[in-house]
Amino acid sequence: MKVWMLILASLSYSNAKYLDLTYALNKDTILWPGRQATFNTEIETRLPDGTWLASKGFCIPEHTSTHMDAPYHFNEFGWTLDKFPIDTFMDLPGVCIDIYDKVHRYQNGELRTVSNYVITKGDIIE
């Protein structure tokens, strides 16, 4: 039932515009203070039949990157993420906070990216 609901929901939103907020998780990702993450390459090899195989492993704390905390996180009777109806996350009003110029700077004629920029209250107000 949920699979069909997801398919129907995605079909109805197929013409919508979305902003992809994902970015690569790596050793420079900002974590909740005091938490640690591990990133390692487990296998990078060519098998005897010529097939390339790469397998990497990582372990990250749940409070990493853009995410949603389920009410259950702070309330034993609260919903877990799988309890939220899919339409809870669809067609919500939003805003775009443009910080492009704050994370991209020219230095010696080359465009440089400021790694791990943390958005500020001033960015939101601006």
Kindly state whether residue 120 falls inside one of the protein's structural domains. Answer: yes
Query: Are residues 124 and 111 part of one domain?
Result: yes
Give the total number of structural domains in the chain. 2
Query: Are residues 88 and 33 part of one domain?
Result: yes
Q: Are 1 and 33 in contact (CB under 8 A)?
A: no
Residue 78: domain span: 17-94
Structure confidence by residue, pLDDT tens digits, 60-119:
887 777 677 788 888 899 998 888 887 777 777 777 888 888 888 888 888 888 877 888
In this structure, the strands spanning 104-107 and 110-113 are antiparallel
CA distance 26 to 57: 11
Q: From residue 12, how far is each of 31, 89, 91, 116, 119 by CA, in Å?
A: 35, 14, 11, 35, 33
Query: Are residues 99 and 84 part of one domain?
Result: no
Binning pLDDT at 50, 70 and 90, where does residue 6 land?
A: very low
Query: Are residues 88 and 42 part of one domain?
Result: yes
User: Rg of the chain over CA atoms, in angstroms?
Assistant: 20
Query: Are residues 76 and 120 part of one domain?
Result: no
Kindly state whether residue 5 falls inside one of the protein's structural domains. Answer: no
